[in-house]
Amino acid sequence: MKRKKKMQIRILLLAALFTAAGVFTAFRLLPDLFEIRKHKEILAELYEVVNLEYVDELSPSTVMRTGIEAMLGSLDPYTIYFSESEVSDARMENASTFGGIGAVLYQKGDRVAIGAVDEHGAAQAAGILPGDVIVAINGRNATGRTVEQVEAFLNGQAGAAIGLTLLRNGQQLEKSLSRKEVSKSNLVWHGMVDDNTGYIKLAQIGPGTTEEFSKAMLELKAEGMENLVIDLRDNPGGILQEAVALCNLFVEKGQLIVSTKGKNTANDRSFSTQVEPLDTVIPLTVLVNSGSASASEIVAGALQDLDRAVIVGQRSFGKGLVQVNKPLPYNAQLKVTIAKYYIPSGRCIQAVDYTHRNPDGSVGKIPDSLVNDFKTRNGRPVQDGGGILPDILLEKPLPSNIAQTLLRKGLLFEYAIRYRQQHEQIAPPREFEFSRQDYQDFLDFLSDKDYSYTTESEQLLEKYRETAEKEHYFDAIAKDYESLRRQLADAKKNDLTNHREEITRLLEEEIVALYYYQSGRLQATFAEDRELNQALELLDKPEGYAAVLQAKL
């Protein structure tokens, strides 16, 4: 009896404690709830007054959208509002498959032309070539249409027939084809890059990545692979679970890969490897750059923290935020950040500053005061503060002014289209060479093209002149100014000669892509790929590779 009474007392005490804890939590949240409700009422009243009383006519939806974007603009860049129509567009964009002809289009005057065709796409099967100009679609005149308008005609239900009238080298052609369901592949290319090193390039980490990767890896092992390079450069990420499964190919079962932590503890989760690995000993290098983000950073960061791979390249993007979609009234939606990613060492890969980035999207130099130190499994020092800092850091060379201009104005691509029309076939991607004679032909092609540009030096010189005139010193320096201006102009005339090797490499990539698609473009870069060659050099020296993964005593 006494025992029963004691048990009842314990239950009552526990109930009281839980009640007290709930009351405490409620009291703790009350100020926040009150502030939210107060400002919600103020916002609603303000919105109504502005729309009813403001002197000029307003669009209620535009006013509200402006307010929403201003509010979300004070947060991170990944918390986004979608209207009902935008939700539908986002679903279409994120779909893993869609119906199309498998071609990239570009504007050519008042018409749209084929820029490139996808490997195994409907356009390729129908014999459509880069440079073909679209004259009509199903008998409807396409002249005066934009790329977006033509794409709307070409994309749609898979299997539907399309008739295209094309113009090629002055001759009109008729092509019949059917829209084909085009899947977004995760793998760009895989193969052997030397006698014992395999290479796998991932475009993104989407559905089925691990399965595709495993299959590619087994094929390479059958070809004699002893080392592996994983290329995650410009990989924007994708699915968290696929990133964990990808790491699981190389690390033991039960290993923590990533955890999420947010203000709401319901969003705190841990993700560990679930199955036995494929290979825990093969030497690995992972290539990253400022375009490697999110799930690709989880893969690179986890393999670095677990001392399972050497990371080579530039600091990654630094996106370590978790988003979920929350439904809103009238079929609108909010994509909201709810947590941050933390990798095995305990560090967060999110850049400490959401807004201030370099032009290429990288986070740049992070103040030491904002950086925290962590340790890998072997005790190597690593830090947080912004993305994954490679074990072997290589500076990314900046393209020359002339190369940037030729790319931006589409002149390299335009010449590649012409080259493709004049040459039925070329050597394989890793063997093709753009000769000096070819380069002279390119210079002839440019003779009537506008590729003018203003250098930073010219901008500074012009600023110098304006300042001197304002301060009434220009007459004294006029001769020196004119001499510098002429010297700069003369130097620019030689840019096409001085940067011939750089421009030649870019032309080779553009041309190869028109024959061998994106996998060919990738292979055409291998000879001059500094990150890849650094990785190969490291993998060729087992002692050096092992030394990188050991803590310095």
What's the pLDDT at 292?
96
Q: What is the phi/psi pair of residue 436, to 5°?
A: -65, -35
Looking at the fold, whether 432 and 477 belong to one and the same domain comes out as yes
138 and 157 belong to one structural domain: yes
Q: Indicate the angle between helix axes 500-524 and 401-408, nearest 10 degrees.
A: 60
With vertex at residue 174, the alpha carbon angle to CA 173 and CA 178, rounded to the nearest 5 degrees, is 135
Question: Do 134 and 175 sit in the same domain of this protein?
Answer: yes
Domain-ending residue, one of 396, 412, 429: 396
Confidence (pLDDT) at 195 = 95
pLDDT of residue 361: 62
Which 3 state secondary structure label does DSSP give 80? strand
Residues 387 and 416 reside in one and the same domain: no
Specify if 90 maps to a domain. no
In this structure, the answer to whether residues 108 and 222 fall within a common structural domain is no
Torsion 525-526-528-532 (CA) sign: positive
As a whole number of angstroms, the distance between CA 121 and CA 106 comes to 18
The beta strands (E) that lie in 179-291 are given as: 180-183, 187-192, 197-202, 227-231, 256-261, 269-272, 284-288
Across-strand partners of 259?
270, 342
* DSSP symbols for 284-304: EEEEE-TT--THHHHHHHHHH
Residues contacting 385, CB < 8 A, separation 6+: 351, 352, 366, 370, 371, 372
**Do 451 and 493 contact (CB within 8 A), yes or no?**
no
Q: Confirm whether 91 is domain-assigned.
A: no
462 and 503 both lie in a single domain:
yes
Strand partners, 23: none
For residue 89, being part of any structural domain is answered with: no
Decide: helix, strand or coil at residue 283.
coil
Q: Specify the pLDDT at position 7.
A: 52
pLDDT (tens, 9 = 90+) of the chain, 553 residues, equals 555 555 554 444 444 444 444 444 444 445 578 888 898 999 999 999 999 999 999 999 999 999 999 999 888 888 999 888 777 665 555 544 557 898 989 998 899 999 888 888 899 999 999 999 999 999 999 999 999 899 888 888 788 899 999 999 889 999 999 988 766 789 999 999 999 999 999 999 999 999 999 999 999 999 999 999 999 999 999 999 999 999 999 999 999 999 999 988 999 999 999 999 999 999 999 999 999 999 999 999 999 999 999 999 999 999 999 999 999 998 899 999 999 999 999 999 998 776 666 666 666 667 777 788 999 999 999 999 889 999 999 998 889 999 999 999 999 999 999 999 999 999 999 999 999 999 999 999 999 998 888 888 888 888 988 898 898 888 888 888 888 888 887 777 889 999 999 999 999 999 999 999 999 999 999 999 999 999 999 999 999 999 999 987 6
CATH number for the domain harbouring residue 201: 3.90.226.10
Kindly state whether residue 328 falls inside one of the protein's structural domains: no
Tell whether 7 is covered by a domain: yes
Question: Do 48 and 119 sit in the same domain of this protein?
Answer: no
pLDDT of residue 435: 97
84 belongs to a structural domain: no
Q: Is residue 330 part of a domain?
A: no
- Do 147 and 192 fall within a single domain? no
Helix H, strand E, coil C: the string for 20-68 is HHHHHHHHHHHHHHHHHHHHHHHHHHHHHHHHHHCCCCCCHHHHHHHHH
User: Of 156, 183, 210, which residue constitutes the final position of a domain?
Assistant: 183
Q: Is 124 helix (H, G, I), strand (E, B) or coil?
A: helix
258 and 379 together in one domain: yes
CATH of the domain at 142: 2.30.42.10
Q: 478: which 2 tokens?
A: 């006029």
For the entire predicted model, the pTM comes to: 0.82
The per-type count for the chain, helices as H runs and strands as E runs, is: 17, 21
What's the confidence (pLDDT) of residue 457? 83
Q: Is 111 helix (H, G, I), strand (E, B) or coil?
A: strand
The DSSP output letter for 265 is G
User: Is the Cβ–Cβ distance between 377 and 551 less than 8 Å?
Assistant: no
For residues 316 and 176, state if they share a domain. no
Is 335 within 8 Å of 265 (Cβ atoms)?
no
Residues 433 and 494 in one domain: yes
Domain that holds residue 248: 187-320+344-396
Single-letter residue type at 324: V
Domain boundary residue among 129, 156, 183? 183
Please say whether the dihedral angle defined by the alpha carbons of residues 337, 338, 343 and 347, taken in this order, is positive or negative.
Answer: positive
314 & 230 share domain: yes
Q: Write down the residue that tokens 């690390």 correspond to.
A: 251
- The answer as to whether 247 is a domain residue is yes
Look at the chain and report how many structural domains it folds into. 4
Q: HEC profile for 142-197?
A: CCCCCHHHHHHHHCECCCCEEEEEEEECCEEEEEEEECEEEECCCEEEEEECCCCE
